[in-house]
Amino acid sequence: MKNINRDDLTKRYTKDIKSADVWSVFRILADFTKGFDDLGDLGPSVTIFGSARTDKDDFYYKKSVKLSSMLASRGFNIITGGGPGIMEAANKGAQESGDVESIGLNIDLPLEQVANPYTTKELSFDYFFSRKVMLVKYSMAYVIFPGGFGTLDELFEALTLVQTRKVTGVKIFVIGIEFYQPLIDFIETKLVANGMIEKEDLHLIRMTDNLECVVREVEESLLNQVKVLNEVGLDNTTYYKSLLQFSKDKLLSRK
């Protein structure tokens, strides 16, 4: 970790967050503009989330490499937060295993986030919220590996988007049954039991350690994604057309 004066950091980010400076608006717009420009024609993609602190010898680091490799070999681009740990593993598997984009959407952090060397396309964002939009906007599935506060934030953001129908046709996979089971138990015994969510909302989470299952269900969800986009009138978008062509190529390759 870099040796940085924490008081200086506090002053820097307090000023950035609390300031009414119009330049903050332009920086926010710049974040969204570069994201839309660079990712709008991306095609079928899967976003993988997980801890930045996971070591290369860790069980889940290796699982992340393997899963992204499997998805990339089937033509799916891989999107991550661009940092080390699980994110690095996912970008590594994608870069080494397929003719796809290995995308890192990095965030300007002073202490921890350093870009990993396995991306084919890298974007850097000033704000977490704009980066988070880009991490989920162009993906047909979200895969959550073990992680800390940031990973949990992304998991619950994804769940909220799907639960409220702000995002449809997207699957949420949670990898690490042993790691996440206590969290699922909490959701069931506290949130469901107290009527804070519906019991059916538990089905939004597909918890599994079977990577073949994840890949198979991602492929199956492709047609559902195409159908949803068509139903809501987005059949003229570049994204829809790329998914449609990809799904046709998939069907042809199986004949």
pLDDT digits (tens, 9 = 90+) for 146-156: 999 999 999 99
Would you say residue 32 has pLDDT above 50? yes
Any idea what the CATH number is for the domain that residue 226 is in? Answer: 3.40.50.450
pLDDT digits (tens, 9 = 90+) for 206-237: 999 999 999 999 988 888 888 888 888 888 88
Domain range for 217 is: 24-253
How far is CA 176 from its chain centroid?
A: 16
Q: How many residues does the chain have?
A: 255
Strand partners, 122: 104
Instruction: Assess if residue 9 is contained within a domain.
Output: no
pTM of the model: 0.85
95 — alpha (psi -120 to 50), left (phi > 0) or beta? alpha
Residue 150 and residue 49: Cα distance in Å, rounded? 9
Tokens 């699980």 sit on residue: 86
Instruction: Assess if residue 8 is contained within a domain.
Output: no
How many structural domains does the chain have? 1
How much is the average pLDDT of 119-127? Answer: 86
- Identify whether the C-beta of residue 50 lies closer than 8 Å to the C-beta of residue 78: no
How much is the average pLDDT of 28-45? Answer: 79
How much is the average pLDDT of 7-26? Answer: 62
Percentage with pLDDT > 70 across the chain: 86
Instruction: Assess if residue 4 is contained within a domain.
Output: no
Residue 3: pLDDT band (50, 70, 90) is very low
Residue among 189, 180, 186, 135 nearest 161 (CA): 135
Residue 208 and residue 187: Cα distance in Å, rounded? 17
